[in-house]
Every structure is written in C-alpha cells, then in structure tokens.
C-alpha cells in the first residue's frame, strides 16, 4: 500500500469493512421513540440520512426493504461512495442517493429534513469542529418527531483502550505502510503483555488489549486504534454537548439495563439510593459499574416532551421476537420454574405460568414476530383457569406487558413497531432477498432480514442461497446443485469429497438442501415473497 497523506486518502486506500448496523435499523429507533411517547414516522414512508455511510450497504439494505422511503448517504471518501453507487445500481435501487462530500457542507436548504439520522463510528474519529457540525445537523435536519443515532467511544471503559493506543502510535509512526503499522502494533503489545514473568495489573490489561486486536480486522485496527483522531467521552459529557445544540437524550439503541444475574445486589441498592436523580445521572453511574466503552445513543429535538421511562401501556401496540429455547423446567415445591436460554447465553427464569406460556409461544415463532395481543391470547388459551373478561383480562395484559418490557430492556427479547419481512420456515419455493443474492455474487457475507451480517464460507451453501429466488422447489434445487457438482463447475464439497454416482450425489445433496433451508430459516434469511 502507498503512503497515506490525509484522512480522505486513508479511507480511499485502506477500505473500511462495509456492513449493516442492526442497532441503527429504523425499526429499532422508532420503537424506542414510541415507547418514550413520541410518534415516529412510519418506515414505509420516511427519509433517512446516514453520515459517514462508507459504501452505503447499511442504507442499500434498507432501501430495498422500504421502496417508498428515501435514503441519503454522505461520506468524505470518494472510492467507497463510487463502489456503493455501482452496488446500488446493480440492485436497481432508485431511492438511495450517495454523496461523496464533506458533511460540514450539508444544509437543510439542500437536503431537507429527515425522520431518522445515523452517525455510526464517526463522532469519536473526527476533529472537534466536525463533531459540532454533526450535532448541528441533527438539530437542523431532524423532523419534529425525528430520531438521531450517534455512536461514540465512552469512558470509563475506553481508558483501557487508550492505555495501549499511545504506545502503538508512538511505535508505528516510523512505518508508512498500513499493513506494517498494524503488524507492528500487534507485535509491540504482544511483547509488552509477556514482558513480566509474573504479570501485574498493567501487563494483564495490555494482554487483554492485545487479545482484542487479534480479533479485529486489519483495516479496523488501522483506522480506529492508530488514527490521529480517537476521542472518548463520559456519557454525561456527550449529553451535555448535545443539549447545547437543542437535542435531548432519548435512550440507547442497545439494551443497557444491569441484571441481577451479572451484578451484586449492592449495585441495585446504590441505584435505588439515587432516588429522584435524573436519567442522565443514573445512566452515568451504570457506565461506572459496567465499564462502558462504547455507546449508541439516541437523541430527539429538545422541545419534544418525552416520558421519563418507557411506557408500559404502549407495549400492547408492539410486536415481539425472541431466539431463545425452553432449556429446562423444574419443580421447586412452590411452583414450576421454566428456564429459557438464548443462543448468546442470556437466560430468563420464571415461575409465572402466563409469562412462561408467552415465552414458549414467542420462541416457537423465531425468527417471526408475534403481536402482543396475539401473544397474550395464545398464552392464556392453554392455561387452566385462564383469565376471563374484564378485570382479570386487563390484569393479565398488564402482567405480560410489564414482563415483556423488562425482558426487552435487558436485551432478552426484541420489541418493534413494524413487522420484519421474514418467515420462520421454508415454503414450497424458498426465497431470500435480491440483496442477499447480489451480495453472494460478490463475496461470502450477506445481510439477513433482521439487518445482521451472516457469513457463508462454504461454497455449496453460497450456491444454494443464490438459487433461492422463489422459482425453484426442492427437487429443482437438488437437480441444479447435482448438475453443478457432476459437471465439475465448482468444488462445492468440503474436504475434497469426490462423488461420482449421480444417485449418491443426489442423496447427499437432498439432505444438504433440507439442512441448509432449516439453517437459513433460523438465521432469518428467508423471505415470504420474491422480488
């Protein structure tokens, strides 16, 4: 790689990995705003602006999903924008507009107002005047009920990252090649981490940072850890800065409640002792406890009146989704306890029959959603002594709503205003989105219907997914994959397995297709329509 001369050149020469941002999906932003009392714009007809959009893949995925909405992306680096335009043209997107320009030049007179504004991985990595302009843009361009998403490095957790950033930048200043700089940075941390025969706190901290860098792609290390600009903020500092530009704290894009499974009771007593302290104060103390290093903060216009906490009475107007399974049921002598476990390890235990029944229904529909009224109806249908009309039914709804809100705030399940366009089982002619097929023509990373990136390293799986355009049934899928394998168009079997008999190949592929479709359903890749 050639020597880099400036921030624009850096992002043109060393391309930052392009991916979608699940927590910045407007469905998530709209839901949080709705629960705080706002009336966010419908996703079917809205305008979304992303600052620092890179290739624009985050917007391209949304533009295909919501063809009647408008998406605008801005990035200073021209090469990613050009690639993004080519990618969008290949998808036939006419509602996505990408601009290679300095964001400080954006004005409301030229761009208009937006219902949702996204600035991910940008705020901490630009000079102070640009940070000011980001906040000004939010104030000037946000619609009355608009929501802005801004992510940034946070203290106190990021003090540990800064422990090694200075030494890495000092050591790598003598190297001009980005690949050399990243390699040298990792090498220095490896040396320091193992320097002491009996590691102390300092060397243990360096070792943790070294292990973190081993899991991060080279371009991310180059741009994030070795950049000239990398400013962290305490949460209260960021909110105070936003307030100076007419913006109010609305919430976090990700779950940020502390749970009793992870933290000692003394923590919750401390939070209780805060009494009527402001939400900002409580959030800051939570960051102290958990060592928060990165925040995804939502802002709204200062003049908007928001509820002091999410409104439980709005829960019945939402849909719910959860990827957990019923892991265990046990009798305690005082009742039957159900244990639900998510794929990421999150656990919920409940002895309440209604909540247990509701979670069982919800988890059985993954990755599909269930409206809260339907969830309540299905949960009570099988319970002995199910609540009747009137007060009992209202009490059941309140109980379920409170439980769902608590599970949502701790990240165990998802609540959302708008249904995701996903199905939980393969139909007669299975299909994935055009976006997925387009992505897998160019690489092994694709975006599922929940806006998350899924990697397909296996060539056979990639070929199967590319065939899922809604025109083929299982027999046609098996026949096409068999043809490809027998004609040797591609080495699609792992470990160089060589199969020559057509009936043997078909038998193997039939199982692979069924297993593959089941896996795609679990990974929220399948759609119930063709495009």
Percent of the chain with pLDDT over 90: 84
pLDDT in tens, 116-128: 999 999 999 999 9
d(CA 82, CA 448): 24
Residues 22 and 144 in one domain: yes
pLDDT digits (tens, 9 = 90+) for 6-50: 455 788 889 898 899 999 999 999 999 999 999 999 999 999 999
Phi-psi region of 251 (alpha: psi -120 to 50; beta: other; left: phi over 0): left
Residue 421 lies in a domain: no
Digit-coded pLDDT (tens) for 160-184: 999 999 999 999 999 999 999 999 9
Contacts of 492 (CB under 8 A, 6+ apart): 459, 460, 463, 481, 484, 485
Q: How many CB atoms lie within 10 A of CB 490?
A: 12
> Could you tell me if residue 424 is inside a domain?
no
Share of the chain above pLDDT 70, in %: 94
Q: What is the pLDDT of residue 496?
A: 39
Based on the fold, state whether residues 124 and 35 are members of the same structural domain: yes
**Mean pLDDT, rounded, for 215-234:** 94
- Of the residues 416, 443, 470, the one at which a domain ends: 416
Query: How many structural domains are present in the chain?
Result: 5
Residues 6+ apart with CB under 8 A from 22: 28, 450, 451, 452
Q: Round to whole Å and give the CA distance between 299 and 403.
A: 26
Contact 111, 141 (CB under 8 A): yes
Q: Are residues 439 and 330 in the same domain?
A: no
**22 class by beta-carbon count within 10 Å (0-12 exposed, 13-18 middle, 19+ buried):** middle
Beta strands in 287-410 (DSSP E): 294-301, 319-321, 325-331, 336-341, 347-350, 370-371
Q: Give yes or no for residue 493 having a pLDDT over 60.
A: no
What's residue 57's pLDDT?
96
The backbone torsions φ and ψ at residue 84, rounded to the nearest 5 degrees and listed phi first, read: -65, -40
- Is residue 2 assigned to a domain? no
- Mean pLDDT of all residues in 153-161: 96
- Report how far residue 382's alpha carbon sits from residue 480's, in angstroms, rounded to the nearest whole number: 45
Query: Is the same domain home to 145 and 285?
Result: no
Report residue 526's pLDDT band, with 50, 70 and 90 as the boundaries: very high
The answer to whether residue 391 is domain-embedded is yes
| Interval 355-392: pLDDT, tens | 999 999 999 999 999 999 999 999 998 786 656 666 78
Whether 306 is covered by a domain: the verdict is no
Residues 226-254, mean pLDDT to the nearest whole number: 96
Q: Are 247 and 299 in contact (CB under 8 A)?
A: yes
Residue-wise pLDDT tens digits, 70-103 = 999 999 999 999 999 999 999 999 999 999 999 9
Do residues 74 and 114 both lie within one domain?
Answer: yes
Q: What's the confidence (pLDDT) of residue 3?
A: 34
Predicted pLDDT at 489:
57
**pLDDT mean across residues, the chain:** 92
Tell me which DSSP letter residue 275 carries: T
From the CB of residue 275, how many other CB atoms can be counted at a distance below 10 Å? 7
Average pLDDT over residues 475-479: 95
Same domain, yes or no: 248 and 148: yes
47-51/114-119 β-pairing: parallel
> What is the token pair recorded at 195?
């320097």
pLDDT at position 60 is 97
Give the three-state DSSP class for 268. Answer: helix
Domain that holds residue 265: 261-291
Q: Is residue 377 part of a domain?
A: yes
Residue 62 has pLDDT above 60, yes or no: yes
Residue 307 lies in a domain: no
pTM (2 decimals)? 0.93
Check whether residue 150 and residue 169 sit in a common domain: no
Dist CA 430 CA 419 (whole Å)? 20
pLDDT digits (tens, 9 = 90+) for 308-343: 999 999 999 999 999 999 999 998 877 889 999 999
> What Å distances lie between residue 196 and 10, 66, 162, 170, 184, CA to CA?
36, 56, 21, 21, 20
CA distance 80 to 77: 6
Q: Which two tokens stand for residue 1?
A: 């790689």
Task: Band the pLDDT of 226: cuts 50, 70, 90.
Answer: very high
Tell me 408's DSSP state. Answer: H
Residue-level pLDDT at 170? 97
CA angle 488, 493, 497 (to 5 degrees): 90
Q: Which residues partner with 114 through β-bridges? A: 142
Separation CA 16–CA 216 (nearest Å): 12
């Amino acid at each position: 790689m050639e020597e880099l001369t400036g921030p624009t050149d850096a992002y043109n020469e060393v391309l930052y990995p392009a991916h979608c941002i699940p927590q910045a999906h407007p469905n998530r932003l709209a839901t949080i705003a709705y629960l705080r009392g706002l009336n966010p714009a419908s996703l079917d007809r809205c305008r979304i602006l992303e600052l620092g959009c890179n290739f624009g893949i985050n917007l391209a995925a949304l533009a295909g999903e919501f063809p009647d909405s408008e998406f605008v992306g801005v990035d200073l680096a021209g090469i990613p924008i050009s690639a993004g335009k080519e990618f969008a043209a290949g998808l036939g997107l006419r509602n996505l507009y990408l601009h290679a320009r300095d964001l400080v030049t954006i004005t409301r007179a030229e761009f208009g107002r937006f219902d949702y504004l996204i600035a991910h991985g940008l705020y901490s990595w630009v000079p102070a005047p640009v940070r000011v302009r980001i906040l000004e843009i939010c104030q000037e361009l946000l619609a009355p009920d608009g929501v802005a998403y801004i992510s940034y490095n946070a203290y106190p957790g990021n003090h540990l990252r800064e422990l090694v950033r200075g030494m890495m930048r000092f050591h790598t200043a003598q190297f001009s090649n980005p690949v050399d700089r990243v390699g040298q940075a990792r090498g220095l941390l490896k040396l320091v981490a193992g320097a002491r025969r009996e590691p102390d706190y300092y060397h243990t901290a360096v070792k943790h940072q070294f292990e973190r860098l081993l899991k991060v792609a080279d371009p991310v290390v180059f741009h994030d850890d070795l950049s000239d600009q990398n400013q962290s903020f305490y949460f209260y500092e960021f909110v105070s800065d936003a307030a100076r530009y007419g913006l109010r704290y609305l919430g976090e894009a990700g779950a940020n409640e502390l749970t009793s499974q992870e933290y000692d009771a003394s923590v919750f007593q401390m939070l209780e002792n805060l009494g009527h302290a402001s939400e900002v104060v409580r959030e800051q103390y939570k960051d102290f406890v958990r060592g928060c290093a990165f925040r995804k903060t939502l802002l709204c216009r200062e003049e908007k009146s928001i509820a002091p906490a999410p409104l439980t009475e709005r829960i019945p107007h939402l849909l719910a989704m959860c990827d957990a399974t019923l892991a265990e049921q046990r009798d305690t002598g005082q009742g039957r306890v159900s244990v639900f476990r998510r794929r990421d390890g999150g656990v919920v235990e409940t002895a309440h029959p209604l909540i247990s029944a509701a979670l069982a229904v919800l988890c059985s529909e993954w990755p599909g959603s269930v409206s809260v009224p339907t969830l309540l109806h299905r949960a009570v249908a099988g319970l002995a002594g199910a609540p009747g009309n009137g007060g009992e039914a209202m009490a059941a709804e309140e109980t379920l709503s409170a439980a769902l809100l608590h599970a949502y705030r701790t990240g165990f399940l998802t609540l959302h205003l708008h249904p995701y366009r996903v199905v939980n089982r393969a139909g007669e002619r299975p299909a994935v989105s055009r976006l997925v097929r387009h992505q897998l023509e160019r690489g092994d990373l694709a975006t599922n219907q929940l806006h998350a990136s899924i990697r397909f390293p296996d060539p056979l799986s990639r070929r199967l997914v590319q065939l899922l355009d809604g025109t083929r049934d299982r027999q046609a899928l098996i026949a096409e994959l068999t043809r490809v394998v027998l004609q040797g168009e591609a080495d699609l079997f792992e470990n160089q397995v060589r199969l020559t008999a057509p009936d043997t190949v078909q038998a193997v592929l039939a199982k692979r297709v069924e297993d593959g479709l089941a896996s795609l359903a679990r990974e929220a890749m399948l759609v119930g329509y063709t495009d």
